[in-house]
């Protein structure tokens, strides 16, 4: 049985009429950049995340870069973050001229180990940038406490965690800014690139709107060196349709993750761990085993999709060789052992049963 890591076509087919109507409306209107769909989607996202404002931008990477820039973070500054993320997290920090300072991760959640943050605070530290990896939020209560104590800005990388919550508060509503990606494979995915920044700070929202449009509040009266990073109407129209289904899809992901947990519980495999105060959205279902590479080869031969998130911790990348940091043993081990198995809302029980059976067989063979 062929089972992809995720199936974007299945989602499209389930909403085809609504999507085509929404997208058709954009073509009829002739407005393609920052129009009524973007404004409405910004409001809907703010409401969904529980923030006062949301600002649409070109992609999740830009959401991070603009947030850092709008908060005044730049050359010589340090931003404490996790080495276990997509490159964009650290890249955004470097892009504004600051330096990422990596703390090791927690071995159960794979999110930043908050107990190590204070040791890394220096005179140059300006911000903490936690990532809610794989759809589970970082320990935001403790991160916010540390930030308040040391007067640091907090920017949440919520690109993988739209709809996730911690202590009943959604991702993107804890820090000074929350950054989202609508890359097609995300839980809320567009048909191209897209991003959003959430915030409760009116002045920050205003500055972000100015920066995303070439540093101008009024056309041709540019007041800062900004960016061309705008969400377009086609993406917003599509994403507005999909946002209406996001809660149902995230719930389906949780149900399927629970089902995997009970199917796989007896196997010699490290399963995802949920912290008690968190409601995750399982952007990815991550398991771990020391023989990861053999296991994924066998799964792939059977037609079962897998993914490695991420094979190289960020501090080990050549671009960060100059920043002597580490060793960070927990992330270094995790990057050798973790892998994702298929999880998407439209997945069937028989697909899950098949994957669990095949995994059991592969692990059995490894033992013999
Ligand atoms: C954790 C994380 N941060 C940032 C990004 C960057 O988002 P984008 O691809 O929309 O630029 C992504 C996704 O690609 C991500 O997973």
Of the residues 81, 86, 100, which should be mutated to test ligand 1's pocket, given the most ligand atoms within 8 Å of the CB? 86
For ligand 1, the distance from its centroid to the CA atom of residue 267, given in whole angstroms, is: 32
For ligand 1, the distance from its centroid to the CA atom of residue 66, given in whole angstroms, is: 14
8 A C-beta contact, residue 172 and residue 160 = no
Of the residues 160, 177, 231, which should be mutated to test ligand 1's pocket, given the most ligand atoms within 8 Å of the CB? 160
Of the residues 183, 184, 192, 193, which should be mutated to test ligand 1's pocket, given the most ligand atoms within 8 Å of the CB? 183
- State which ligand 1 atom lies nearest to the alpha carbon of 64: 4
Cα angle 109-110-115, degrees, rounded to a multiple of 5: 85
- State which ligand 1 atom lies nearest to the alpha carbon of 182: 10
* Helix spans in the chain (H): 8-14, 16-29, 36-49, 60-70, 88-95, 140-149, 202-212, 233-264, 292-301, 329-337, 349-367
- State which ligand 1 atom lies nearest to the alpha carbon of 85: 1
Classified as helix, coil or strand, 147 is helix
Q: Which residues of the chain have pLDDT under 70?
A: none
pLDDT of residue 324: 74
Question: Could you write out the DSSP letters of every residue in 265-332?
Answer: TTSSSBPP---TTEE---SSEEEE-TTHHHHHHHHHHTTB--B-S-SS-GGGSGGGTTS-----HHHH
For ligand 1, the distance from its centroid to the CA atom of residue 141, given in whole angstroms, is: 23
Domains, the chain, with CATH or none: 8-240 (3.40.640.10), 246-367 (3.90.1150.10)
pLDDT of residue 321: 86
pLDDT of residue 31: 95
- State which ligand 1 atom lies nearest to the alpha carbon of 132: 1
Q: What is the pTM of this model?
A: 0.98
For ligand 1, the distance from its centroid to the CA atom of residue 354, given in whole angstroms, is: 31
| Alpha carbons 248 and 178: distance in angstroms, whole number | 22
| Alpha carbons 190 and 238: distance in angstroms, whole number | 7
For ligand 1, the distance from its centroid to the CA atom of residue 181, given in whole angstroms, is: 6
For ligand 1, the distance from its centroid to the CA atom of residue 268, given in whole angstroms, is: 31
Ligand 1 environment, Cβ below 6 A: 59-61, 85-86, 88-89, 131, 157, 159-160, 181, 183, 193, 195
For ligand 1, the distance from its centroid to the CA atom of residue 137, given in whole angstroms, is: 15
For ligand 1, the distance from its centroid to the CA atom of residue 99, given in whole angstroms, is: 19
For ligand 1, the distance from its centroid to the CA atom of residue 343, given in whole angstroms, is: 19
pLDDT of residue 322: 85
């Amino acid at each position: 049985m062929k089972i992809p890591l995720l199936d974007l076509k299945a989602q499209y087919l389930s909403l085809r009429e609504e999507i085509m109507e929404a997208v058709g409306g954009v073509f009829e209107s002739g407005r393609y950049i920052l129009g009524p769909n973007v404004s409405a989607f910004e409001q809907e996202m703010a409401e969904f995340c529980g923030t006062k404002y949301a600002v649409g931008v070109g992609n999740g990477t830009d959401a991070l870069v603009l947030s850092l820039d709008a908060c005044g973070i730049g050359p010589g500054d340090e931003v404490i973050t996790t080495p276990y993320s997509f490159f964009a997290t650290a890249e955004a920090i470097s892009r504004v001229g600051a330096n990422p300072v990596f703390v090791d991760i927690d071995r159960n959640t794979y999110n930043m180990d908050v107990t190590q943050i204070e040791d890394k605070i220096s005179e140059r530290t300006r911000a903490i940038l936690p990532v809610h990896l794989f759809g589970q939020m970082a320990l935001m209560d403790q991160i916010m406490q540390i930030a308040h104590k040391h007067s640091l800005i907090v920017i949440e990388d919520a690109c993988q965690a739209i709809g996730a919550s911690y202590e009943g508060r959604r991702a993107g509503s804890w820090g000074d800014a929350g950054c989202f990606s609508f890359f097609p494979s995300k839980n809320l995915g567009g048909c191209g690139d897209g991003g959003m920044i959430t915030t409760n700070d009116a002045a920050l929202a205003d500055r972000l709107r100015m920066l995303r449009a070439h540093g101008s509040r009024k056309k041709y009266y540019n007041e800062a060196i900004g960016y061309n990073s705008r969400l377009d109407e086609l993406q917003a129209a599509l994403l507005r349709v999909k946002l209406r289904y996001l809660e149902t899809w995230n719930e389906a992901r949780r149900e399927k993750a629970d089902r995997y947990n009970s199917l796989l519980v007896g196997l010699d495999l490290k399963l995802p761990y949920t912290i008690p105060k968190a409601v995750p959205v399982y952007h990815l279902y991550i398991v771990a085993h020391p023989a990861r590479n053999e296991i994924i080869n066998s799964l792939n031969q059977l037609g079962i999709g897998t993914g490695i998130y991420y094979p190289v911790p960020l501090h080990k990348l050549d671009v960060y060789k100059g920043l002597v940091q580490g060793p960070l043993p927990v992330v270094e081990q995790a990057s050798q052992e973790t892998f994702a198995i298929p999880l998407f809302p439209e997945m069937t029980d028989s697909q899950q049963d098949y994957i669990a059976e095949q995994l059991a067989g592969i692990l059995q063979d490894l033992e013999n």
